Amino acid sequence: MRLRSLLFIPGDSEKKFAKGSAAGADVLILDLEDAVAPSRKIEARAIVSRLLEDRTPRSWSFFVRVNPLDTGMTFTDMAAVVKPGLDGLLIPKANGAQDINRIAEELDRLEQQAGMALGTVKIAVVATETPIAMFNLGSYTPAHPRLVGLTWGAEDLAAAIGATANKEEDGSWTEPYRLARSLCLYAAAAADVAPIDTLYANFRDPEGLELDCRRARRDGFTGRIAIHPDQVATINRCFAPSPEEIAEAQMIVDAFAAQPDAGTLGINGKMYDIPHLKAAQKTLANAA
Ligand code: COA
Ligand code: MG
């Protein structure tokens, strides 16, 4: 399952779904949480449930963001959308792996009821939206077999800690959110699941998005949330390894394969050791 670009679509908007499904995203995340007003939750569940029944072949994975456990709505959301066609759930405001285990147990039950193979529905987590979640990021390791990715969010975390802002004047994250971003990256790497960067809110700033995506990829993120179809192409491009990167990675892998007993190699006057080999293997896996 490719998790480079993940486009959010409000669950109660069939119009945006039609537009979003042609955007070229790897994943569409139909939202039942904060993009849907409380008065529209029931309608949104019904719409998403219906959209899942469309059997037209898709080039993207169908995810649903359910409401968080403390709302009491999570299992009602799941009952409406766990059916053939669903590829994954995005869990917001998770406090740690215990929450994921509860959701996974409910998935076991619902998949069986829906006649789906056990484990079909994967889980991605917004892992930094509550203060306690920040202390539980290590709990995702070892990863639950359904877990495919971790992402982070700054808005709900800021509200939870009573911050008056989460950005510096130059637009960069303030320290509490830089920490959340970094710890999410480490947590995903430890669990060996995809680190997915948070959204870039200004959807009319393609240059800013591009710069920010390049930084994210440099740091190790392998994909990013989109909130507007116009952001998808930039995200796909920035997180795909360039032909030069692929060629270099292939060269490193080939060099080590040719000398299986070498831990360190000199190639064109540069030193390469096992971390370089691992990075090259990751690049090739991302390119595949
Ligand atoms: N998915 C699919 N289509 C979208 C879209 C999205 N996320 N965002 C915008 N569009 C569509 C619009 O409906 C519009 O369609 P049209 O040309 O047929 O009228 C077109 O793209 C251009 O939209 P635009 O006018 O630039 O933006 P907007 O003001 O209509 O919408 C937002 C702005 C922020 C409301 C919208 O982008 C959105 O709903 N984003 C997702 C929000 C979300 O799900 N948040 C939860 C996670 S943080
Ligand atoms: Mg939120």
Q: What is the pLDDT of residues 57-86, one digit of tens each?
A: 999 999 999 999 999 999 999 999 999 999
Mean pLDDT of the region 5-34: 98
Alpha-carbon distance of 64 to 103, in angstroms, equals: 13
Task: Please state the atom number of ligand 1 nearest to the C-alpha of residue 15.
Answer: 13
pLDDT value at 7 more than 90? yes
Cβ 63 under 6 angstroms from ligand 1: no
Confidence of residue 288 (pLDDT cuts 50, 70, 90): confident
Q: Output the six-digit token pair for 206.
A: 């393609």
Task: Please state the atom number of ligand 1 nearest to the C-alpha of residue 33.
Answer: 46
Backbone dihedral region of 40: left (phi > 0), alpha (psi from -120 to 50 degrees) or beta? alpha
Cα of 19 vs centre of ligand 1, distance in Å, is 9
First and final CA of the chain: distance in angstroms?
A: 11
Average pLDDT, the chain: 96
Residues 223, 3 contacting (CB under 8 angstroms) = yes
- pLDDT reported for residue 94: 98
Task: Please state the atom number of ligand 1 nearest to the C-alpha of residue 226.
Answer: 7
Atom 45 of ligand 1, residue of closest alpha carbon:
35
Ligand nearest to the backbone CA of 29: 1
Q: Cis ω on the peptide bond leading into residue 142 (within 30° of 0)?
A: yes
Task: Please state the atom number of ligand 1 nearest to the C-alpha of residue 199.
Answer: 48
Ligand nearest to the backbone CA of 153: 2
Closest residue by Cα to residue 102 from 65, 74, 71: 74
Domain 5-238, CATH 3.10.50.40 — does that match?
no
pLDDT value at 121 more than 90? yes
Cβ 229 under 6 angstroms from ligand 1: yes
pLDDT value at 191 more than 90? yes
Cα of 141 vs centre of ligand 2, distance in Å, is 24
Atom 46 of ligand 1, residue of closest alpha carbon:
35
Atom 3 of ligand 1, residue of closest alpha carbon:
16
% the chain with pLDDT above 90: 96
Q: Which of 9, 196, 228 to mutate to test the pocket of ligand 1 (most atoms within 8 A of CB)?
A: 228
Task: Say if residue 145 is exposed, middle or buried (CB neighbours under 10 Å; 0-12, 13-18, 19+).
Answer: exposed
HSE-CB of 59 using CA atoms within 13 angstroms: 7
Beta-carbon count within 10 A of 264 CB: 11
Cα separations (Å) of 226 from 14, 122, 124, 195, 230? 18, 19, 15, 14, 9
- pLDDT reported for residue 194: 97
Mean pLDDT of the region 186-211: 97
Instruction: Count the helix, strand and coil residues of the chain and give each as a percent rounded to the nearest 5.
Output: 50, 15, 35
Cα separations (Å) of 231 from 52, 88, 228, 238? 24, 22, 6, 11
% the chain with pLDDT above 70: 100
Cβ 124 under 6 angstroms from ligand 1: no
Closest residue by Cα to residue 232 from 80, 20, 56: 20
Domain boundaries, the chain: 5-238, 243-287
Cα of 198 vs centre of ligand 2, distance in Å, is 11
Q: pLDDT tens for residues 209-266? A: 999 999 999 999 999 999 999 999 999 999 999 899 999 999 999 999 999 999 999 9
Beta-carbon count within 10 A of 106 CB: 16
